[in-house]
Amino acid sequence: MDTLHFETAEQLRLACRRGQFSAPTSGLAEGYQQGNIVILPSALADDFLRYCVRNPKPAPILGISEVGDPRLPSLGADLDIRFDAPRYRVFRNGEAVDTVTDIEALWRDDFVTFVLGCSFSFETALLRADIPVRHIEAGRNVAMYETNIETAPSGPFSGPMVVSMRSFTPQDAIRAIILSSHLPQAHGAPVHIGDPSQIGISDLAKPDFGDAPVIHPGDVTVFWACGVTPQTAIRHARPEIAITHAPGHMLVTDLRTEIA
Amino acid sequence: MDTLHFETAEQLRLACRRGQFSAPTSGLAEGYQQGNIVILPSALADDFLRYCVRNPKPAPILGISEVGDPRLPSLGADLDIRFDAPRYRVFRNGEAVDTVTDIEALWRDDFVTFVLGCSFSFETALLRADIPVRHIEAGRNVAMYETNIETAPSGPFSGPMVVSMRSFTPQDAIRAIILSSHLPQAHGAPVHIGDPSQIGISDLAKPDFGDAPVIHPGDVTVFWACGVTPQTAIRHARPEIAITHAPGHMLVTDLRTEIA
């Protein structure tokens, strides 16, 4: 696939819809907020909505659809969730069973779509502030860890908070903490700094998701709530069917990445 | 002296003026911004003003008087700097030589008064946010350290940045960092977190000023620029005469402690 440049979120979504784009969205359509997708049968939607509201740091809600309606007009006038993300993951009974580039054939009249904030917006803000992001510099995925912090449960949705870790010089760590506190829709302020064992992480070099981190001598480790948390809650809930974006293949919305 | 309660900054200043109050001001006239005082001959005022502007974290300017004028109407309609702080320190050639309760006899027509932000406002904000402040709980003065961070010099004013250290649980450290970033007139965001040796502090248990700190297991150490820094710069500059507040005996202004 060519390296494509998208001026707007809508251009990127249209390329997905036409089958012209199915790659990761990191760094694309800069300034537009990207989102995690969770699609569930309506029978589970109320419990999942409460789960998100009770756990706003890992699951900040950017938008919710009407039952059976594939549109999310608050996130994009013509947005159609069946086609507009580059790649989707299908879960049956809590297990990922398939990856597809559209979900037209799977769509059901009782589906409800949730779009949840994503750390890509936050990383863009860090880079704009000239704060180096070690895993991006190294061309790696961010390191993510299951913690001993339990999320607030709702119905069948529960489980540990998953965090992403980024390390910085102490001065950049201070700036990153303050900056992220102004981006509540991209997981907000960190949930922990310093000693990983305090939140149940035994070995930083062995993340549960993503790649091993790059940590420079003298760095301070900073841990943010991660959008993988609701996916872990879905695995725990074992719904008959659930559809999410494929990791890194986010929905790009018309929302601008704004300071709150 | 009785434990006095002052509803307003003006009541406290009037008590100082009448000789009824000459004690430390920590925790008094809550909600009003307290300030460090620096009074210098006008020949040095321009260099000192530039020093403060170049070093806004240790020396945030709350107010400057006209030459020879003991009033600071922007900080209090009737404020008279000769009488309205509880206790003053007199420096000659950079050495503290006397402590007095008013400076009427010392006043000169060429004096310029600087009032600089103070961390008391910040500590009040921490306590209001239910963030424990270890040295206050222990009834101690905050621990302060000379660092290897050089301030930006101006004329004869120069020297190391002095920092105050407070330690917190990691979660409270994150909240304290964010909260302080909204109080730029009380030294703003911290200048360092974590390993003290990175800023030239060899032993936390042996502060250069104040009392030994209380650090709980698992705490994160957080370092803020300190209002003692300009006093250190004055010691370096060795002016013929300089007058400051006595440590802890601050000028209480009519400014409210507001989030910026």
Which residues, listed in sequence order, are joined to residue A143 by a DSSP beta bridge? A165
For residue B72, is it within any domain?
yes
For B173, the closest chain A residue by CA position comes to: A193
Q: A174 and A111, same structural domain? A: no
What six digits make up the tokens of A213? 């981190």
Where residue B150 sits, what CATH number does that domain have? 3.30.2040.10
Q: Is the CB of A177 inside 8 Å of chain B's CB atoms?
A: yes
Say whether residue B148 is in contact with chain A using an 8 A CB cutoff.
no
- Domain range enclosing B88: 9-16+27-117+237-256
- If asked whether residues B124 and B218 sit together in one domain, one would say yes
Same-domain check for residues A67 and A53 = yes
Q: Is B175 inside any structural domain?
A: yes
The answer to the question of residue A101 being in a domain is: yes
Q: Of the candidates B175, B181, B194, which has its C-beta nearest A170's C-beta? A: B194
| B216/A contact by beta carbon, under 8 A | no
CATH of the domain at A106: 3.40.1640.10
> Is the CB of B174 less than 8 angstroms away from the CB of A190?
yes
* Structural domain contains residue B242: yes
Regarding whether A226 and A131 lie in a shared domain, the answer is yes
What is residue B247's predicted lDDT score, i.e. its pLDDT?
Answer: 86
Determine the residue among A131, A166, A183, A193 to mutate to test chain B binding: the one whose Cβ has the most chain B Cβ atoms within 10 Å.
A193
Distance of alpha carbon A46 from its chain centroid, rounded? Answer: 20
Low-confidence ranges of chain A (pLDDT < 50): 1-2
In a domain, A17, yes or no: no
Verify whether the Cβ–Cβ distance A189 to B173 is below 8 Å: no
pLDDT score for A28: 87
The verdict on B198 and B102 lying in the same domain is no
Closest-CA distance of chain B to residue A180, Å: 10
User: In percent, how much of chain B has pLDDT > 90?
Assistant: 86
Region B218-231 average pLDDT: 96
Strand order in the sheet with A160-168: A143-150, A160-168, A220-225, A192-193
Task: Give the chain B residue nearest A220 (alpha carbons).
Answer: B194
> How many CA atoms does the CB half-sphere of A185 hold within 13 Å?
19
ipTM: 0.84
Do the domain assignments include residue A249?
yes
Note whether B178 contacts A174, CB cutoff 8 Å: no
Does residue A218 sit at the B interface (CB-CB below 8 Å)?
yes
A83 and A172 share one domain: no
Residue B153 sits in the same domain as residue B197: yes
Beta bridge partners of A165: A143, A223
Same domain? For B113 and B162 the reply is no
Q: What is the mean pLDDT of residues B175-181?
A: 96
**pLDDT at site A259:** 62
Which pLDDT score is estimated for A221?
98
User: Are A194 and B192 an interchain contact pair (Cβ–Cβ within 8 Å)?
Assistant: no
Q: Is residue A207, in this structure, part of any structural domain at all?
A: yes
Whether residue A178 lies within 8 A of chain B, CB to CB, comes out as: yes
**pLDDT-based confidence at B1, cuts 50/70/90?**
very low
Q: How many domains does chain B fold into?
A: 2
Question: DSSP string of A191-233?
Answer: SEES-GGGGT---TTS-SBS------TTPEEEEEE-THHHHHH
Residues A101 and A55 in one domain: yes
Do A48 and A93 lie in one domain? The reply is yes
| Cβ-based burial of B216 (10 A; exposed 0-12, middle 13-18, buried ≥19) | exposed
Q: Which of B168, B174, B179 to mutate: most A Cβ within 10 Å?
A: B174
The verdict on residue B22 lying in a domain is no
Asked if B189 and A195 come within 8 Å (Cβ–Cβ), the reply is no
- Chain A CB contacts of B194 below 8 Å: 170, 173, 194, 220
Residues of A within 8 A of B174 (CB-CB) are 177, 189-193
Q: Please state, rounded to an integer, the average pLDDT across all residues of chain B.
A: 94
Written as six digits, the tokens of A153 are: 């449960």
Q: Say if residue A78 is in the same domain as residue A155.
A: no
Please state the φ and ψ torsions of residue A135, each to the nearest 5 degrees: -70, -30
Q: Which residues pair with B145 in a beta bridge?
A: B163
- Which tens digit of pLDDT belongs to each residue from B87-103? 999 999 999 999 999 99
B39 and B89 share one domain: yes
> Could you give the CA distance from residue B259 to residue A124 in angstroms, rounded to a whole number?
27
**Per-residue pLDDT, A110:** 97
Cα–Cα distances (Å) from A60 to A37, A76, A157, A184, B44, in that order, read 12, 18, 16, 7, 54
pLDDT at A260: 54
Length of chain B (residues): 260
B122-135 residue pLDDT tens: 898 899 899 999 99
